[in-house]
Amino acid sequence: MPTDSRRVAVITGASSGIGAALARRLGHGGFRLVLAARRPDALRAVCADAGAECRSVVADMTRRADVERLRDEAIAAFGAIDVWVNNAGRGINASVLELTDDQFDLMMAVNVKSALYGMQVIVPHFKERGRGHVINVSSFLARVPLATYRSAYNAAKAALNALTANLRMDLRREYPAIHVSLVMPGMVSTEFARSALGGTPAVTWVASGRGASPTVQTADDVAAAIESLIASPREELYTQPGQSETVVRYFQDVGAFERGP
């Protein structure tokens, strides 16, 4: 079994966007990596760019067997896993009244089930080791309805937020060295918007009177925030200034917030 002391990170949805940027940052920072996504060529290219000891695993995170295989291949390659990042996700452009059953089910599978499977397969390994870090990449939109055309995506991420918090509470007392973190980016310039089902409208944020118009972050901006979270674990991380204040304003008076100025 490998005895290298360098930390091992598994990143799903790693063929582009935030996952790829995080892989490059962690790889250059000395992590050994196992990257998962459905596109083999793009995944291998990210591994090559990471400048690290890296394995790519072609997998569909909505299939439990694929997620189990990802864990097993990572442990076989490096002996253990220290950090598991559930980053796979996809958006859709459809309001609540326009959603079809298939669209809603797809959003739940890609954005919630994939992370649920990740948590269920990796936490037993972390329990055996007595330590580890699960990071679930969610969205600011799971907390505040500022882009209603992403309704099913926002709902799925809200479900992910709840699962994350419940897992953290379940582990907190008996396994204090197993960290469970939620990351909530805002608007990020990645392939995500372009690959969203139905595209992305030109107007992408309802801002006036409800919160400052957001700065569009790069994938590397978010990856840097996650890298800092790995170094200093905490429960939740908003990646843009002002997001937490907007959430507080929303929940203090939902009606006033939604009515705007």
CA distances, 199 to each of 28, 65, 94, 185, 202 (Å): 33, 30, 10, 19, 10
- Please pick, among 117, 149, 153, 250, the residue that the annotation labels catalytic: 153
The two three-digit tokens of residue 247, written as one number: 């959430």
**Dist CA 230 CA 5 (whole Å):** 16
> Which residues have C-beta within 8 Å of that of residue 49, sequence separation ≥ 6?
20, 23, 24, 27
153 is catalytic: yes
Contact 59, 86 (CB under 8 A): no
Residues 149, 208, 257: CA angle, nearest 5 degrees: 80
**Dist CA 7 CA 261 (whole Å):** 49
Give me the half-sphere count of Cα atoms (radius 13 Å) on the Cβ side of residue 57.
Answer: 23
Q: Torsion angle of alpha carbons 159, 120, 6, 28, nearest 10°? A: -30
**Dist CA 186 CA 239 (whole Å):** 7
Residues marked as catalytic: 153
